[in-house]
């Protein structure tokens, strides 16, 4: 990859999951960096390793960006095989092919690889201990990428939202139209992170490596990529409705803070989802805005 990116060749970038929250944004942010070849689930079936290999060998990309994932946290408890096929086995094949092609693989993971018992924000080298199938499958994907010896960037992010797909922001806006009051968990802490900011940070990091391919080897590794600051789901909901009301997007329901125990779900969630982003700043000089600033930008654009 170094020779290709260091020459006049326009990098070919294979992008998976283009209909998802992050993938949709990546189509725009990656466009200035090279030739983006988008692949949705009809083009690339991540449950079929042979399909993955065939597409990669046809496209012969310099960079593979893989935001595609099985993200239904509770449903994963019922569909562990499918979750592991998409979140663990597919990244393993992508990494194997990236190594064969000499390509750089960009993969996304999650705060759910941790159990949330640490009182401080998690660093990249803290020991993972996922609580559910989703977290376990994402951790297995990370481990496969790292074990492959391909050049890679694994970005762990958290509480991703945007104006498309299934996420907490859109759920709150929908429920505000249906209910007078909402009970929201207040003892899980994390950093809500706008999908667009994830895509923009990804493009900025890749732009640095394309401009200076000799940095790729040293930069390979796991990075935490979340908004600055932290809040609870209840605090997140409060800010959503404050901003949405100002923009005239919805009325504000009554909100009641509750502990996790009063909102039982099939998959346990970590109480502390805060991730330490210092390594990202040291390596790429990148720092995302505070979570409430990103939310304000997202809601403002929704208007």
Sign of CA dihedral 134, 136, 137, 143: positive
Q: Which of 29, 257, 226 is nearest to 123 (CA)?
A: 226
Q: Report d(CA 183, CA 196) in Å as an integer.
A: 28
pLDDT attached to residue 1: 42
pLDDT attached to residue 111: 98
Q: For residue 179, tell me if it sits in a domain.
A: no
Q: For residue 269, tell me if it sits in a domain.
A: no
Q: Report d(CA 178, CA 172) in Å as an integer.
A: 10
Q: For residue 261, tell me if it sits in a domain.
A: no
pLDDT attached to residue 3: 39
How would DSSP label each residue in 66-82?
E------TTGGGT-HHH
pLDDT, tens digit (0-9, with 9 covering 90-100), for 80-121: 999 999 999 999 999 999 999 999 999 999 999 999 999 999
pLDDT at 259 over 50: yes
Dihedral of the alpha carbons of 228, 231, 235, 241, in degrees to the nearest 10: 20
Q: For residue 187, tell me if it sits in a domain.
A: no
The token pair at 42 is: 């009809």
Q: Which of 279, 246, 273, 275 is nearest to 260 (CA)?
A: 273
Q: For residue 264, tell me if it sits in a domain.
A: no
- Domain containing 43: what range? 2-165+192-229+274-289
Q: For residue 119, tell me if it sits in a domain.
A: yes
Q: Which positions are annotated as active-site residues?
A: 134
pLDDT, tens digit (0-9, with 9 covering 90-100), for 224-238: 999 999 999 999 999
The token pair at 35 is: 């030739």
pLDDT attached to residue 157: 98
For 40, residues 6+ apart whose C-beta sits below 8 A from its C-beta are 17, 18, 19
Q: Which of 196, 216, 89 is nearest to 153 (CA)?
A: 216
Residue 50 CB neighbours (<10 A): 9
Q: For residue 89, tell me if it sits in a domain.
A: yes
CATH of the domain at 215: 3.40.50.720
Sign of CA dihedral 282, 148, 51, 80: negative
Q: Which of 174, 139, 162 is nearest to 270 (CA)?
A: 139
Q: Which of 17, 69, 63, 68 is nearest to 40 (CA)?
A: 17
Q: For residue 201, tell me if it sits in a domain.
A: yes
pLDDT attached to residue 7: 54
**C-alpha angle with apex 197: 196 to 199, nearest 5 degrees?**
65
Domain count, the chain: 1
């Amino acid at each position: 990859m170094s020779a290709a990116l260091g020459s006049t060749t326009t990098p070919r970038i294979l992008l998976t999951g283009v209909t998802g929250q992050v993938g949709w944004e990546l189509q725009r942010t990656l466009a200035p960096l090279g030739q983006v070849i988008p692949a949705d689930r009809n083009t690339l079936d991540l449950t079929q390793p042979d399909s993955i290999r065939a597409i990669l060998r046809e496209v012969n990309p310099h960079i593979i960006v893989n935001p595609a994932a099985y993200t239904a946290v509770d449903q994963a408890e019922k569909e562990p095989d499918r979750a592991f096929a998409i979140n663990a086995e597919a990244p393993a094949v992508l990494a194997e092919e990236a190594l064969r092609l000499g390509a750089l693989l960009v993969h996304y993971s999650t705060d759910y690889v941790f159990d949330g018992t640490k009182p401080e924000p998690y660093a990249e080298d803290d020991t993972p201990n996922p609580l559910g199938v989703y977290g376990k499958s994402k951790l297995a994907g990370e481990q496969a990428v790292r074990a492959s010896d391909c050049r890679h960037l694994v970005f762990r992010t958290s509480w991703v939202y945007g104006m498309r797909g299934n996420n907490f922001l859109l759920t709150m806006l929908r429920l505000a139209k249906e209910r007078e009051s909402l009970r929201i968990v207040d003892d899980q802490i994390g950093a809500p992170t706008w999908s667009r900011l994830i895509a923009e940070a990804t493009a900025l990091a890749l732009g640095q490596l394309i401009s200076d391919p000799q940095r790729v080897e040293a930069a390979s590794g796991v990075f935490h990529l979340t908004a600055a600051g932290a809040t609870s789901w209840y605090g997140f909901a409060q800010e959503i409705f404050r901003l949405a009301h100002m923009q005239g997007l919805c009325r504000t329901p009554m909100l009641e803070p509750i502990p996790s125990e009063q909102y039982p779900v099939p998959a346990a969630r970590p109480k502390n989802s805060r991730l330490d982003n210092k390594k990202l700043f040291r390596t790429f000089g990148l720092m995302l805005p505070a979570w409430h600033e990103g939310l304000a930008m997202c809601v403002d654009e929704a208007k």
